[in-house]
Amino acid sequence: MDKNMVMGLYNDYVMQNYTRSDLVIKKARGSWVWSMDNEMYLDFFPGWAVSGLGHCHKRVVKAVSRQVKQLIHVSNNYYSEAQGRLAEKIIMNSFNGRVFFCNSGAEANEAAYKLARAFGQGRYEVITMQKSFHGRTLACTAATGQEKCQKGFSPLPRGFKSVPFNDKEALEKAVTDNTAAVMLELIQGEGGIHVADPDYVRFVRELCFKHNLLMMVDEVQTGMGRTGQLFCYRHYGIEPDVMTLSKSLGNGVPIGAMVVQKKISGILGPGMHASTFGGNPLACAASLAVFEAIEKEKLLQNTHNMGEYLRQKLGELKVAHPVIKEVRGMGLMLGVEMSTNAPRACECCFNNKLLINCTQGNTLRIMPSLTVTKGEIDQATEILDQSLERC
């Protein structure tokens, strides 16, 4: 089957709800993907930031191959070793809590909203941030602080309001007798790589303590080492009440998780929430391998080192190209805001065999794998340099 035949199948039989580039990927390894035309692309936004260890990491491949021969799925009415071990691994690396497993970030956030309402005992509102992104289900769409994501889906579930990011006064004014929780991304990914101010995060923590609200952090994109810490909240010296995870948690195998402080973990009792495929042995085996790789291959240190190096190289491009307004982010989660032509620059990079993302119309989102090398960063920034010259 050739490229045109594959694209023809999509055109005829697959829903047209994605904008797809003219690329059919046949295999991938590390920071590289190969097309059906045998062209190599350097992937600096692997799997929409899902393949945090890079494509087909050997530890994940080995773990999944071993698990698929033994046990793929088991009902959550029974026990399985992999789920228990993964829950322990997450808790030992985060805070004293318990874990609910599901299949995606949106599902993890849905679980968090239900937990917030059960916790609120009549209080039902969740305050989120403008430019946030929390998923594509109806409740997650309502929680997302972007009107463009909500257009066409009214009436949305009630009980969500968004306030400006990093604005203490706006957040405090938004709290009412109906408020049950505050949810925020510590770095807004789809929102344009905007980083939460440390004093703002501490303010949110204290505000939630003061009003008996749940502080919920959406770490679907920032979690699993992306920022140089295993979880981004660690940069801020606080502990949330709830943390949601997905994306790199399984390095390509679908898995999501809601992590809840133990003292409130009993709020969702038997029959109140569930996920048929959540925490299945295959996904948990993949996730355990992700933890193993991060620990044994010292990938947090590599993320810190390569993040600094990438930021330095992007800073050099900012000097050379006045069209770049700002470089921001943390670790290997960086954004390049441009005054103009960001979509064109992203397209030029694609044509020059570099895969990145453009978000909010003006920001290039650059999130290579935690295993990225200096040589790969040099290649990527050289392509970006050439692309900016042609914009």
- Give 133-175 pLDDT, tens digit per residue: 999 999 999 999 999 999 999 999 999 999 999 999 999 999 9
Tell me the C-alpha distance between 183 and 88, whole Å.
24
Q: Which residues of the chain have pLDDT under 50?
A: none
HSE on the CB side for 343, CA within 13 Å?
A: 3
87's CB contacts (< 8 A; 6+ apart) are 98, 99, 101, 279
DSSP bridge pairs for 332? none
Give yes or no for a contact between 369 and 31, defined as CB atoms under 8 angstroms apart: yes
Other beta carbons within 10 Å of 257: 31
Give yes or no for a contact between 329 and 187, defined as CB atoms under 8 angstroms apart: yes
Give yes or no for a contact between 383 and 238, defined as CB atoms under 8 angstroms apart: no
The string of DSSP codes covering 270-282 is TTT---SSTT-HH
Radius of gyration of the chain (CA): 21
Q: Which domains does the chain show, CATH number per domain?
A: 3-57+298-390 (3.90.1150.10), 71-296 (3.40.640.10)
Q: Dump strand ranges (E) for 235-289.
A: 242-245, 256-261
Q: Report pTM.
A: 0.97
Tell me the C-alpha distance between 129 and 167, whole Å.
9
Tell me the C-alpha distance between 341 and 356, whole Å.
14
HSE on the CB side for 292, CA within 13 Å?
A: 15
Give yes or no for a contact between 104 and 140, defined as CB atoms under 8 angstroms apart: no
Helices (H) and strands (E) in the chain, counts: 12, 17
pLDDT of residue 391: 76
Measured at the CA of 71, the angle between CA 68 and CA 74, to 5 degrees, comes to 130
Chain centroid to CA 183: 15
CB burial string 297-309: b at 16+ within 10 A, e below = eebbebbbebbeb
Spatial strand order in the sheet of 179-184: 97-102, 256-261, 242-245, 214-218, 179-184, 125-129, 160-163
The helix or strand, by DSSP H or E, that contains position 60, with its residue range, turns out to be: helix 58-68
Tell me the C-alpha distance between 389 and 383, whole Å.
10
User: Left, alpha or beta for 247 (phi > 0: left; psi -120 to 50: alpha)?
Assistant: left
Give yes or no for a contact between 182 and 174, defined as CB atoms under 8 angstroms apart: no
Helix, strand, or coil here: 356?
coil
pLDDT of residue 219: 98
pLDDT of residue 390: 84
Give yes or no for a contact between 97 and 261, defined as CB atoms under 8 angstroms apart: yes
Tens digits of residue pLDDT in 304-357: 999 999 999 999 999 999 999 999 999 999 999 999 999 999 999 999 999 999
